Chain A
Amino acid sequence: MQSLIEKIRQGKFSDFPGGVHPPQRKTLSNQTPIAKLPLPQRLYVTIKQHIGVEGHLEVRPGDMVLKGQPLTKSMNPFAVPVHAPTSGEVTTIAPHVSAHPSGLAEMTIEIRPDGKDEWIALAPLQDYQNQPKLKVIERICHAGISGMGGAGFPTHIKVSPKKNVEFLVVNGVECEPYISSDDRLMREHAWQIRQGIDVITHLLNPKHVLIAIEDNKPEALHAMQVACQENPDYVVCSIPTKYPAGGEKQLIQVLTGREVPNGGLPIDVGIMMQNVGTCFAIADAIFTGKPLIQRVVTLSGECFDKPGNVWALLGTPVSHLLQQGQYQPKRQRSRQLIMGGPMMGFNLVSDQVPVVKITNCILAPTEREMVQADEEQPCIRCSACADACPASLLPQQIFWHAKAKELDKAGEYNLFDCIECGACAYVCPSQIPLVHYYRVAKAEIRLQEEEKHQADKARERFEARKLRLEQEKAEREEKHRQAAEARRKALEQQESTTGNKVSAAVARAKARQQTQAAKEETPASDKVAAAVARAKARKARQEQESTSRDKVEPGEESKQDKVASAIARAKAKKAKQENASTAPDQAESPTGEQQTKASAGLNQTRESGAEPSEKQPAGDMAPSKDTKAARVAAAVARAKARKAAADQDKDQKLSPAPESASPTVALEVDEEKKQRVAAAIARAKAKKRVGVSSTDKQQDKSKS
């Protein structure tokens, strides 16, 4: 029995089920070296270009940035930063059409290049072997590197695994037709790719390193073999050409015969895969300190006069690439641009879509090359799709359930193992866009899961709230019970102790208050203070009378007191409410309300004075309370003035004829606040009126 690595060295590979052989058409673009592009007018750097969360913005509009300067910062393990692709000015940070099938706008930093292309100070990490691994990983993260093969998974997470890696697979398969960006990169920069592999090997310590390249790229194979010949541990594998051999799970199956379990990751079978482009970017980040700001993009399709590969800065709008490739829109009946390859790519909604880290190809095919799919025909159950499926699924069954919106049943047929390679749609004789049905179903299932999660959260919050309300209610009841008990006890105590003492104290306090009030009468200059003082004096007189009466029955005194104060409070409240409801004219005696208010305040004072425990301090506190009462009265007067102003304002609004008195009052109060209050009141009133009228109508109806 040969060991696995011996088999691989001898070139004996397994195969994955299914697969198709679409025409390659790679010679269209892989004949010329990777071209450099002039700077575009504007660069649109999408903030989130990978799977995970976006970084934290570091720049503001108007900032000057240097080439390679980080624009966002990674605050989260799943965030990778983006960098300025050239030096220039940040003009805006706003939503811009994104490199996504939906074309929905995403937050994008727009940069106007200044043409100097000036680098930020770079800090290479040449002696990475002597550095702690964490530092190297951190460097990879800060360079903004995410997987450049397809999904854009943050690389720094991938290169810090918890499990042992048996095989490190470097994926240079590039199985999709037309695309040749990895091919050209390997031909021209094999040496640097190998350096990147060295770094990953240092981090992961895999037992074997396999570099997989399809046998339709002999030049790339040769270049990589030359670059890796020094290290016998690196095995360059030439694998048979078949779509989709470049898929992660398929490539693992081809090389090792192992299958990644359902819902698992390659690391579960001891394998880690990196794209050649990612290796190149890692070498760039470690040996020169340059972050990921550009990538190779294939411009292909017969609509380009100059197809080929270019170094495109991330954020370059597709229109700039079209210009460089000399795109001829006349050759297409309807404009069709595809980002990605013909099998897995998506139509672009606009040519302003920027290049992102996972953009490997811009395809502009002619009508002859690529025929728009005809009308979808019914499934004839030929099972050609099942034969082509590289994941051994039953595409027609999944299609059936996805179309009928039976998502759970589609899930039972392992919908989520579908890699969306498009092989089934390619072979379908009925021209059914199978992959799209799967994508719709997958999105739907994900949304449902999200909703489920939301519902669970809502239930938790609802239940927590219910519990809290119940607790609060119980607490309130408990408090009420305790207060009642305290009152009862106090009453008992009062009854037991001689009432004389209490009444004497009350009388003392009263007398002091009276003298205080009398003193205040003279200095009080304004009407309000005078009114308050008068009210107090009257109250005090009444009080004396009542206390003299009360002396006969000392037990009832405090009770009566309380009743009186409560009535006063209620009156004050009522007056206020009336004020609020019937818009009062200022001529109505304002002192009436003030009096009640003041008396209520006084009553409170007296009440506290009557408390047996506070005999002495009550008298001292009286003057301060008096001034407080005066202040309250003043506040009430102020509030009234404001209200009157508001009402007048409202009246003005309702009746166009302006009143002469209003402007003088209106000027006194804060203009804006008054207007807002008035508007709010008006709205509330209008609403109330509508409600009243509607209920009236209902009542009328019911009457009739």
Chain B
Amino acid sequence: MSVFYALLAVGLLALAFGLILGYAAIRFRVESDPVVEQIDAILPQTQCGQCGYPGCRPYAEAIANGDDINKCPPGGESTIRKLADLMGVEAKPLDAAHGTEDIRKVAYIREDECIGCTKCIQACPVDAIVGTSKQMHTVLIDECTGCDLCVEPCPVDCIDMVPLQVTTSSWRWQLDAIPVRTIE
């Protein structure tokens, strides 16, 4: 008889906890894999597709599923290092098959050559190109991620990738500019 009671008690407990867990699973449900979010936050969001995936988020998902972390040329070494920290893997050099790290560039449309075909507008992943059909297009420098995707579709090759101008606010200190030390 006591065996029956024990079974009953354990069974009830199991039922109760099962209900609690089931409720918690619904109530505190996590929409998507938070690791993907974290990886996505590290990636540079150029949406350039140089990694072989159609955007930064798909690559983030791929990394979460065990893909290599060294396929992002725009992010370069610093991104690889951060990804290595996050994923707990060894940082490795950038995979040259996907491109090399370059200085930051932005697209520039030579406006007198633009024929207004809107092909670059359709290619731009971040809507950084303004213009309409048969009208001249131009690039919003502040929004351009330098992903190169607009260069290929242009039928008249009027888009250049130009390096971003260094200003006094984006200037990096050079060590040789060090001033002086006073001696007695």
A643 to B45, CA, bound (A): 44
Which of the 9-residue segments B5-13, B16-24, B123-131 touches chain A? B123-131
Which residues on B sit within 8 Å (CB–CB) of A426? 181-182
With A457-B143, A680-B115 known as contacts, the answer to whether A177 contacts B175 (CB < 8 A) is: no
For residue B179, CB closer than 8 A to chain A, the reply is yes
Question: Of B27-35, B91-99, B163-171, which stretch is located at the interface?
Answer: B163-171
Of chain B, the residue at the smallest CB distance from A465 is: B127
Interface residue range, chain B: 35 or more
Chain A residues whose C-beta falls within 8 Å of the C-beta of B175 in the assembled complex: 433, 436-437, 440
Which residues of chain B in 68-126 are interfacial with respect to chain A, using CB atoms and an 8 Å cutoff? 78, 112-113, 115, 125-126
In the bound complex, do residue B166 and residue A338 qualify as a contact, i.e. CB atoms below 8 Å apart?
no
Please, which residue of chain B has its CB at the minimum distance from the CB of A405? B78
Q: Nearest B residue to A458 by beta-carbon distance?
A: B45
B182 pairs with A458, CB closer than 8 A: no
> Roughly how many angstroms separate A48 CA and B156 CA in the complex, as a whole number?
40
The one of A102, A104, A370, A448 in contact with B182, judged by C-beta atoms closer than 8 angstroms, is: A370
Q: Which of A342-350, A549-557, A608-616 contacts B (4 or more CB under 8 A)?
A: A342-350
CA distance A372 to B176 in the complex (A): 11
Count how many chain A residues have C-beta atoms less than 8 Å from C-beta atoms of the other chain.
52
Chain A residues, CB < 8 A from B145: 454, 458
Q: Contacts A448-B78, A458-B145 given; indicate if A436 touches B181 (C-beta within 8 A).
A: no
Cα(A517)–Cα(B63), bound, Å: 71
Least CB distance, A393 to chain B, in whole angstroms: 18
For the complex, give the distance between the alpha carbons of A24 and B113 in Å.
Answer: 63
In the bound complex, residues from chain B placing their C-beta under 8 Å from that of A439 are 173
Interface SS of chain B:
loop
Which A residues lie within 8 Å of B78 (CB)?
A: 448
How distant is the Cα of A679 from the Cα of B170 in the complex, in angstroms?
39
Q: Which of A322-373 contact B (CB under 8 A)?
A: 336, 338, 342-343, 345-347, 365, 369-373
Whole-angstrom distance between the Cβ of A369 and the nearest chain B Cβ: 7
**Which one of B47, B113, B155, B179 lies within 8 Å of A338 (CB-CB)?**
B179
Alpha-carbon separation in the docked complex, A433 to B168 (Å): 21
| Cβ of A23 under 8 Å from chain B | yes
The answer to whether B127 touches A443 (Cβ under 8 A) is no
Report the nearest A residue to B115, measured CB to CB: A680
Mask, B142-184, CB within 8 Å of A = 1, is: 0101000000000111000000001110111101011111111
B-facing residues in A88-105 (Cβ within 8 Å): 98, 100-102, 104
Q: List 9 A-B contacts (CB under 8 A).
A: A101-B173, A370-B183, A458-B44, A461-B126, A462-B47, A462-B55, A465-B125, A680-B155, A683-B156
Contacts beyond the supplied A458-B145, A459-B56: 10 A-B pairs with Cβ under 8 Å: A23-B184, A101-B173, A336-B180, A370-B180, A371-B181, A431-B181, A436-B177, A443-B171, A455-B45, A687-B155
Q: Which chain B residues have a beta carbon within 8 Å of chain A's beta carbons?
A: 40, 43-47, 55-56, 78, 112-113, 115, 125-128, 143, 145, 155-157, 166-168, 170-173, 175, 177-184
Binding site for B on A (CB under 8 A): 22-23, 98, 100-102, 104, 106, 177, 336, 338, 342-343, 345-347, 365, 369-373, 425-426, 431, 433, 436-437, 439-440, 443-444, 447-448, 450-451, 454-459, 461-462, 464-465, 676, 679-680, 683-684, 687
